[in-house]
């Protein structure tokens, strides 16, 4: 199949458009002030991971033989230069938002971020005492002799001061211990709230650290390192052990970006680059301060409610909230839950009930990102104490969560669970739970399949969906999935679930082909999808084919997309929007019109090659009509968002979607809350349409 004639966006460059949408939220004056600061923190955190993962990948490609790169049409240098140019523009915009908008807004609320040059007498005295008693014991300072080869290691994403001296070519290097002390220090003040960067208190006292030299300059730097774990010979040995052994490499990875204070003199910058063996492309100018992800913890001593999002009441699920026997509720009909509008406790309570129910014989669960401590993990341990057979699949390659996942895998194993880890070259990304229960002379199976992780903390900020079901059509397929995970089955043959890498791609292509055929036969043909990322070229090609057949395609893609919508003769029937709002859109919903009998799926897989071919993913069809209607309504609300939806097109301007003159404005996350509130209202408890 020749894909070269089809137009595709570059995923890494388009990802920067996604991060720009986060920056737009920091600019949006309708957001509370402290939430705007958090969007700057999200932007910064996203960018750090992008350099650690994606830019480092491009650097690895540079090591491939040039002739092979040419044959594969790989141009990493050109790509990196384009990325750095756009990042530079975004960081300048970032600085404008912070200094010209948010700092003045803080001042309007009598909160000041004070630099050390503006400390008053009492603040100077406080800063000096704080430095001596709290900071100095945690500071490691060293002199770098540029004339000698010396092994100086900068830890990944840690903050340092590079110090220059009068009449010396040597440098000083000082760590900024923000992990231990926090990034922000509240200063004494009678009339306002004064807050200082920890950095500035160190800067103020830098002469005390280098008391034998005359300091001429002090510049903050931060190095990002490669986050990928390049494990050789994956088929040899136990992969979980290799991951565990390789975790230390994460901080030792090759540099991908040195962020430095743009006030650093050109000659100093040249010497720094040479000393650390960096290329010009590795150097990224920034402001006075780095690691703006620390603004997640920016203090608000006033606890002023207007500076934050108003607390949102959790919607009480109409069925679960009035019945303590979840098995009874689920056996009667399928039940949907939606986070963060509803509490994750419904999932935790179900597992806890299973742990204590005398009729439950077995619990099976796959864990992609395990919380450090939660009711869920406690319930699993309780199930083991009560003699239940427990099987846990732990993903050992969940990026940045490997260590915690492996820790819990060991705990479960020690307590008697059957624990399975990753397969070589494949991740288990599915969010699935299966409970077997003795009922009379039979064993009944109950399942939960979700779009998000089994994690109570992230469920408060990630928009996800989950289905509870006892439908044998679903549970029978899920039993086979767990047989695959435990190594007892090689090739599952699910009849209803979509299971990657076995049936998902094939089924999606069949569903798209069905819409193509319907369009060609004059029938209504529609595809709607909500997902995080759209990258797989074969799926994109099928969508282009569907466009040319007359299929109407509406996509909601939160992150990056390699499909180019709105091109005449290629994608004029395809629209893409993206929503960035209070919560992180994370759910995946796939809708196919199917000539008036819609087919609808939710699950863990995006339309990315890795999700279709290189991960164990599970998507579940909506077989219950009430659940199907509920999800269709939610999907349509989001597709009609006119406040937080941005149009994705070839120009990548991130223009907001405009409302029609005859229709009201829709902010979908708030509209969905209203919809679910109404749907689960006590007045609708006895209405058949709500059961």
Identify whether 307 is part of a domain: no
245 lies in some domain: yes
Cα Rg of the chain, angstroms: 27
* 387, 249: one domain: no
290 is in an annotated binding site: no
Which pLDDT score is estimated for 229? 45
Instruction: Identify whether 367 is part of a domain.
Output: yes
Closest to 618 (Cα-Cα) out of 495, 458, 501: 501
Q: What is the pLDDT of residue 424?
A: 64
- Block mean pLDDT (10 aa), the chain, length 691: 75 95 97 97 92 75 52 64 90 94 96 95 96 96 79 88 88 95 95 95 95 91 71 38 48 75 93 86 87 94 93 94 93 97 96 96 88 84 96 71 75 91 76 96 97 92 97 98 90 96 97 98 98 97 97 98 96 97 97 98 96 94 97 98 95 90 90 96 57 39
Domain of residue 539, residue span: 499-690
Dump strand ranges (E) for 61-192. Answer: 111-113, 141-144, 159-165, 171-175, 184-187
- Per-residue pLDDT, 593: 98
Domain identity same for 486 and 523: no
Cα–Cα nearest to 378, from 403, 356, 404:
356
Question: Cβ(292)–Cβ(43) under 8 Å?
Answer: yes
Interatomic CA distance for residues 405 and 239, integer angstroms: 13
Q: What is the pLDDT of residue 396?
A: 67
Q: Which of 12, 44, 56 is CA-nearest to residue 252? A: 56
In 276-344, where does DSSP find H-type helix? Answer: 326-332
Strands 552-557 and 574-579: parallel
CA 243/CA 399 separation, integer angstroms: 11
Which stretches within 135-212 are classed as H helix?
Answer: 178-181, 198-204, 206-209
462 assigned binding-site residue = yes
Same domain, 80 and 216: yes
**Are residue 57 and residue 193 in the same domain, yes or no?**
yes
Which of 473, 491, 509 lies at the terminal end of a domain, its last residue? Answer: 491
Answer yes or no: is 599 a known binding residue.
Answer: no
> Pick from 250, 274, 301: which residue ends a domain?
301
Q: Are residues 518 and 540 in the same domain?
A: yes
pTM: 0.90
Q: Is 366 in the same domain as 441?
A: yes
The enclosing domain of 518 has a CATH number of: 3.30.870.10
Say if 309 falls within a structural domain: no
Question: Does one domain contain both 447 and 560?
Answer: no
Regarding whether 570 and 532 lie in a shared domain, the answer is yes
3 state DSSP class of 622 = coil
Count: domains in the chain:
3
The secondary element (H helix, E strand) that includes residue 259 is strand 255-261
| 134 in any annotated domain | yes
Q: Is the domain of 354 the same as that of 445?
A: yes
Residues ≥6 apart with Cβ < 8 Å to 280? 273
CATH of residue 155's domain is: 3.30.1840.10
The reported pLDDT for the residue numbered 578 is 98
Asked whether residue 311 is domain-assigned, the answer is no
Known active-site residue 99: no
How far is 422 from 429, CA to CA, in rounded Å?
Answer: 10
Query: Which one of the listed residues 203, 317, 338, 429 is annotated catalytic?
Result: 429
Q: What is the pLDDT of residue 690?
A: 39
174, 286: one domain = yes
**Does residue 630 form part of some domain?**
yes
Residue 220 and residue 194 share a domain: yes
User: Do 296 and 367 belong to one domain?
Assistant: no
CA pseudo-torsion sign 620, 621, 625, 631: positive
Flag whether 656 is marked binding. no
Contacts of 241 (CB under 8 A, 6+ apart): none
Question: Rounded CA gap, 601 and 621, in Å?
Answer: 4
Dist. CA 414–CA 113, nearest whole Å:
49
CB 507 within 8 A of CB 497: no
pLDDT score at 23: 97
**Most distant pair of Cα atoms in the chain: their distance:** 89
The answer to whether 413 touches 407, Cβ cutoff 8 Å, is: no
1 located within any domain: no
Question: Any known ligand binding at 175?
Answer: no
Which tokens belong to 269? Answer: 């910058």
Residue 646 assigned as binding residue: no
Strand-pairing partners, residue 418, are: 391
Residue where a domain stops, chosen among 301, 328, 344: 301
């Amino acid at each position: 199949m020749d894909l070269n004639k089809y137009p595709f966006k570059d995923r890494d460059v388009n990802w920067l458009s996604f991060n720009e949408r986060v920056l737009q939220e920091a600019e949006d004056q309708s957001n509370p002030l402290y939430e705007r600061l958090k969007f700057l923190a999200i932007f910064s955190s996203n960018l750090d991971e992008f350099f650690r993962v994606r830019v480092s990948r491009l650097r690895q490609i540079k090591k491939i033989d040039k002739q092979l790169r040419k044959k594969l049409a790989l141009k990493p240098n050109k790509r990196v230069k384009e990325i750095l140019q756009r990042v530079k523009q975004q960081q300048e915009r970032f600085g404008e938002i912070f200094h010209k908008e948010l700092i003045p807004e803080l001042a309007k609320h009598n909160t000041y971020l004070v630099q050390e040059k503006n400390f008053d007498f009492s603040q100077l005295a406080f800063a000096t005492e704080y430095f001596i008693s709290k900071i100095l014991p945690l500071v490691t300072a060293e002199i770098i002799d540029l004339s000698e080869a010396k092994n100086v290691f900068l830890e990944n994403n840690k903050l340092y001061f590079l110090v220059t001296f009068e009449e010396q070519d040597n440098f000083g290097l000082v760590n900024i211990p923000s992990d231990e002390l926090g990034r922000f220090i509240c200063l004494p003040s009678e009339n306002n709230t004064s807050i200082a960067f920890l950095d500035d208190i160190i800067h103020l006292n830098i002469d005390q650290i280098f008391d034998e030299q005359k300091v001429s300059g002090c510049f903050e730097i931060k190095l990002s390192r490669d986050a990928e774990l390049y494990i050789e010979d994956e088929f040899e040995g136990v992969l979980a052990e290799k991951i565990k052994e390789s975790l230390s490499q994460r901080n030792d990875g090759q540099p991908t970006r040195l962020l430095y204070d743009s006030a650093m003199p050109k000659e100093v910058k040249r010497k720094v680059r040479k000393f650390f063996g960096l290329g010009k492309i590795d150097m990224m100018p920034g402001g006075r301060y780095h690691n703006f992800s620390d603004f997640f913890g920016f203090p608000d001593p006033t606890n002023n409610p207007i500076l934050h999002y108003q607390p949102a009441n959790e919607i009480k699920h109409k069925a679960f909230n009035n019945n303590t026997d979840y098995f009874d509720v689920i056996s009667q009909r399928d039940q949907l839950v939606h986070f963060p509008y509803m509490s994750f406790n419904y999932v935790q309570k179900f597992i806890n009930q299973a742990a204590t129910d005398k009729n439950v014989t077995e619990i099976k669960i796959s864990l992609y990102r395990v919380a450090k401590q939660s009711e869920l993990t406690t319930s699993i341990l309780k199930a083991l104490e009560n003699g239940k057979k427990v099987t846990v699949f732990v993903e050992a390659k969940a990026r940045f969560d490997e260590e915690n996942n492996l820790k819990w895998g060991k705990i479960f194993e020690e307590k008697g669970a059957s624990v399975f880890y990753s397969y070589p070259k494949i991740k288990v990304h599915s969010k699935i739970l299966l409970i077997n229960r003795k009922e009379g002379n039979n064993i009944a199976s109950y399942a939960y399949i979700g779009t998000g992780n089994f994690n109570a903390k992230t469920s408060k900020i990630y928009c996800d969906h989950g289905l509870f079901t006892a439908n044998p059509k679903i549970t029978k397929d899920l039993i086979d999935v767990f047989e695959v995970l435990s190594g007892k089955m090689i090739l599952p043959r699910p009849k209803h679930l979509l299971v990657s890498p076995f049936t998902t791609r094939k089924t999606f292509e069949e569903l798209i082909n069905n819409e193509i055929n319907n369009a060609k036969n004059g029938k209504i043909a529609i595809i709607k999808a909500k997902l995080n990322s759209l990258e797989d070229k074969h799926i994109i090609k099928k969508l282009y084919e569907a466009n040319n057949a007359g299929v109407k395609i509406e996509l909601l893609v939160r992150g990056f997309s390699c499909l180019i919508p709105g091109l005449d003769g290629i994608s004029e029937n395809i629209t893409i929007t993206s929503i960035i709002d209070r919560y992180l859109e994370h759910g995946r919903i796939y809708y196919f019109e199917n000539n008036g009998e819609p087919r609808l799926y939710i699950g863990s897989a995006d339309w990315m090659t890795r999700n279709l071919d290189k991960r164990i993913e599970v998507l579940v069809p909506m077989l219950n009509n009430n659940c199907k209607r509920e999800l269709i309504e939610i999907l349509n609300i989001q597709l009609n968002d006119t406040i937080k939806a941005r149009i994705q097109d070839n120009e990548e301007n991130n223009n907001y979607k405009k409302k029609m003159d005859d229709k009201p404005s829709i902010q979908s996350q708030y509209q969905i809350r209203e919809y679910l509130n109404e749907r689960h209202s006590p007045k609708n408890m006895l209405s058949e349409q709500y059961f």
